[in-house]
Amino acid sequence: LAQSGAPMVAGYAVSDSARNKVGGAAYFVRATFAREAQALVQHLTTIGVTRIAFAALDNPGGAEVIQLGEAALATHQLKSVAAVLVKGDASNAAAAGKALAESKAQAVIMYLGGTVGGEVMKSAAASGGQSTLFYGMSIVPGDVTARLVGKQTSGLAISQVVPYPWSESDAQTREYRALAERSQVPVGYLSFEGYVNALVMIEALRRTGRDLTRARLHAALKTLRLRVAGMDVDFTSAGNTGSRFIELVRVTPEGRFLR
């Protein structure tokens, strides 16, 4: 990527360490996982929750997220009561859920994609953790989780890194929904994030002008500061992440998101 000179814009579920390695070559719109961890820990400590556990995918990205979570807890003089790594095929989800329940955690922060988070929640509940609150980072798909755990989903909240796709107050969000419905694309956080990323790229291209080169596009991105769909994106400061936006939303048993 660096050798080509072509800027990469956006990216989904890219670890913070990987972002740091491509500084000057890539521009990430969504907030970092460190920022998500900080926001979740801040929320939990504010409501009086201090016994916090982590469940993350058993890969380098998951291990990194647990480290970020521990760092966020340390700023509140806390340590996790449990930290479990879960296989991507959910083969150890039952054991992970049991360990979380046995830790007596008041809340679990999950970095688990696909159906894995739902399997862990089901296991924790079956092992005595019915009152445990579950908080998913942005990679946790609320609709998939809801189909798996049903009524238990009322105990799930997710940190979203783009604004509410069903907002009526923002014109660009309303335009996104109209375009999505016209194209038969499901309205939701995933497609909305893609739309937001596209708006950022289009604005960078517009500011580059007619004489488009890779160097000129880099220059435009490095000076880019705008408000898009209700969130601020700013690449003018140090680093290559444009947004710090985080919003916690609840997931209903039907898979709907509520602010």
Q: What fold, for 8-31+166-234?
A: Rossmann fold (3.40.50)
pTM: 0.94
Q: Do residues 128 and 101 touch, judged by C-beta distance below 8 A? A: yes
Percent of the chain whose pLDDT exceeds 90: 90
Q: Do residues 232 and 245 touch, judged by C-beta distance below 8 A? A: yes
The total of other beta-carbon atoms located within 10 Å of residue 203's CB is 16
Asked whether the predicted pLDDT for residue 154 surpasses 80, the reply is no
| CA torsion angle 251 96 46 76 (round to 10) | -150
DSSP code of residue 32: P
Amino acid letter, 184 = Q
Q: What is the mean pLDDT of the chain?
A: 96
Residue identified by tokens 């291209």 is 205
Sheet strands side by side (includes 133-136):
82-86, 52-57, 107-111, 133-136, 156-160, 247-251, 257-258
173: helix, strand or coil = helix
The whole-number pLDDT of residue 239 equals 85
Q: What fold, for 33-160?
A: Rossmann fold (3.40.50)
Sequence-ordered list of residues with C-beta below 8 angstroms from that of 170, at least 6 positions apart, any chain: 163, 229, 230
Q: Do residues 106 and 79 touch, judged by C-beta distance below 8 A? A: no
pLDDT digits (tens, 9 = 90+) for 57-70: 999 999 999 999 99
Give the mean pLDDT of 241-246: 97
For residue 212, what are its two tokens? Answer: 């488009």
The whole-number pLDDT of residue 2 equals 81
Start and end residues for every CATH 3.40.50.2300 domain found in the chain: 8-31+166-234, 33-160
- Burial class for 185, CB neighbours closer than 10 Å (0-12, 13-18, 19+): middle
In angstroms, rounded to a whole number, what is the distance separating the alpha carbons of residues 108 and 193? Answer: 25
In angstroms, rounded to a whole number, what is the distance separating the alpha carbons of residues 146 and 51? Answer: 24
For residue 92, what are its two tokens? Answer: 């150890």
The whole-number pLDDT of residue 121 equals 96
Q: How many residues does the chain have?
A: 259
In angstroms, rounded to a whole number, what is the distance separating the alpha carbons of residues 125 and 130? Answer: 4
Residue identified by tokens 């083969």 is 91
pLDDT digits (tens, 9 = 90+) for 110-143: 999 999 999 999 999 999 988 999 999 999 999 8
Angle at 179 between CA 177 and CA 180, to 5 degrees: 60
Task: Count, in order, helices (H) and strands (E) of the chain.
Answer: 9, 11
101: helix, strand or coil = helix
Q: Which of 80, 66, 75 is nearest to 33 (CA)?
A: 66
